[in-house]
Amino acid sequence: MAGTGTAHLRDRDRVLLRVEDLVVEFPASRGQKVHAVSNISLDVLKGETLGLVGESGCGKSTTGKAILQLPPPTSGTVTFEGTDITTLGGRDLRQVRTKLQMIFQDPISSLNPRRKVEQLVAEGLDIWGKGTKDERQKKVDDLLVTVGLDPTVARGRRAHQFSGGQCQRISIARAVATEPALIVCDEPVSALDVSVQAQILNLLEDMKEQYGLTLIFIAHDLAVVKNISDRVAVMYLGRLCEVGDPDVLYQAPAHPYTAALLSAIPVPDPAVRPDERTTLGGEIPSPLSPPSGCRFRTRCPRADEQCKQEVPEMHGIGADHFVACHHPLAPGETLVDLRTS
């Protein structure tokens, strides 16, 4: 997007989570600001998986953390089950947070190395004193079985004794333990081998089914995101570019950035010659001084004066397909030559 707007948001009563005009800025040296997330709006239906994709530094993690108020955003609202949680504090906020969980990219370092697996998984249960000790133990064992670990083997061990894939299973058991309504998965498979990645993606789908979970799934791998998501949002430099059903969005990307991203993916098929595909030139500009107007314009082959002057607004271009671009691609149209530099 590099744009703003709320055309892609759905009916307030139907959504579990609604994020409006989210802004996150970090102070930088010499009085500058990192514009990490700028006026992003999103929503998620109950039981839906929203995929959030974009390249490094575009603000995916910052968005995910701001939703969980870790830390609260600079401005904007985060409405969860009808309450704007940016206004909550203390006990109310802690109470809400048990319903919002997060799974991180690095499975090993995100688990406390001094605690045993059973303690890690039970943490949320213990904090809220749910059930008796025996009930909690039983629940932990059930969770371990569900994520494919043998409780008798796993229970008493510590995280470093497990592989990356196993640690990610423990993280999932732990996140699911408090029966949260929403889990933000921040690149949960990016550090894993493809074969383990497939195991974890399948597991997440199973858990979603079993526990009726709602997910925000962050990743930079478009194929992974498509596989798990019901709806995908593409980010660039702190803003949203395009939102839609993945089957539509990948088939007919409308935003030049989405098109470029899709064409840059290395495909495991030697018939697709990379040198015949289009490559995007240049690099992502600094979030300290993002370009005016459309933030993608410095790398966009379609950019013109309007793109420089006006921030494009999200607008509908088809059933569940929205784009923030002044000159979106028509269905079937391709970027003829993306080599701008």
Partner 1 sequence: MTGSTTAPAASNASDGVFAAVEPDEVLLEVENLHTRFSSPRGTVHAVRGVSFDLRRGRTLGVVGESGSGKSVLSRSIMGLMPSNASRTGSVRFAGQDVLDISPKRMRTLWGDQMSMIFQDPMTALNPVVRVGKQITESLHEHLDISRTVANETALELLRSVGIPQPDRRLRQYPHEMSGGMRQRVMIAIALACGPRMLFADEPTTALDVTVQAQILDLLQALQRDRQMSMILVTHDLGVVAGRAHDIAVMYAGQIVEKAPAKELFGRVRHPYTQALLRSIPKLEMAKHTRLEAIDGRPPDLVNLPQGCKFAPRCPYAQDRCRTEEPVLQPDGDNTEHLVACHFPVSGSVAVPQPTSATNRATN
Ligand X SMILES: Nc1ncnc2c1ncn2[C@@H]1O[C@H](COP(=O)(O)OP(=O)(O)OP(=O)(O)O)[C@@H](O)[C@H]1O
CB of 118 vs ligand X, minimal distance in Å: 29
Q: How many residues bind ligand X (CB under 6 A)?
A: 13
Q: Quick check: 55 binds partner 1 (CB under 8 A)?
A: yes
Given a contact cutoff of 8 angstroms between Cβ atoms, the answer to whether 143 and 177 are in contact is yes
The Cα 101–Cα 12 span in angstroms is 22
From candidates 6, 123, 146, 250, binder to partner 1 by CB under 8 A: 250
CB of 317 vs ligand SF4, minimal distance in Å: 12
Residue 303 interacting partner from ligand X, ligand SF4, Mg ion, none (CB closer than 5 to 8 Å by kind): ligand SF4
From candidates 50, 58, 170, 259, binder to ligand X by CB under 6 A: 58
What angle (nearest 5°) sits at the alpha carbon of residue 190, between those of residues 264 and 231? 70
Q: Which of 282, 66, 271, 292 is nearest to 184 (CA)?
A: 66
What angle (nearest 5°) sits at the alpha carbon of residue 84, between those of residues 78 and 85? 80
Q: How many residues bind partner 1 (CB under 8 A)?
A: 55
Q: Quick check: 300 binds ligand SF4 (CB under 6 A)?
A: yes
The Cα 236–Cα 56 span in angstroms is 9
Taking only Cα atoms into account, the Rg of the chain, rounded to an integer number of angstroms, comes to: 21
CB atoms near residue 127 (< 10 Å): 11
Q: Which is nearer to ligand X, 248 or 262 (CB)?
A: 262
The Cα 30–Cα 288 span in angstroms is 11
CB of 236 vs ligand SF4, minimal distance in Å: 9
Q: Quick check: 285 binds ligand X (CB under 6 A)?
A: no
Residue 4: DSSP 8-state: B
Which residues have a Cβ under 8 Å from the Cβ of 237 and sit 6 or more positions away?
2, 57, 58, 59, 284, 285, 287, 290, 295, 296
The Cα 154–Cα 162 span in angstroms is 9
- Options 15-23, 94-102, 245-253, 311-319: segment touching partner 1 (CB under 8 A): 245-253
Q: Give φ, ψ of 191 to 5 degrees.
A: -95, 5
CB of 312 vs ligand SF4, minimal distance in Å: 4
Q: Which is nearer to ligand SF4, 35 or 97 (CB)?
A: 35
Q: Which is nearer to ligand SF4, 158 or 302 (CB)?
A: 302
From candidates 326, 329, 335, 338, binder to ligand SF4 by CB under 6 A: 326
Residue 165 interacting partner from ligand X, ligand SF4, partner 1, none (CB closer than 5 to 8 Å by kind): partner 1
Q: Interface residues with partner 1 (CB under 8 A)?
A: 55-56, 148-150, 163, 165-166, 193-199, 201-202, 205, 220-224, 226-230, 245-247, 250, 260-262, 264-275, 277, 279-281, 283-284, 339, 341
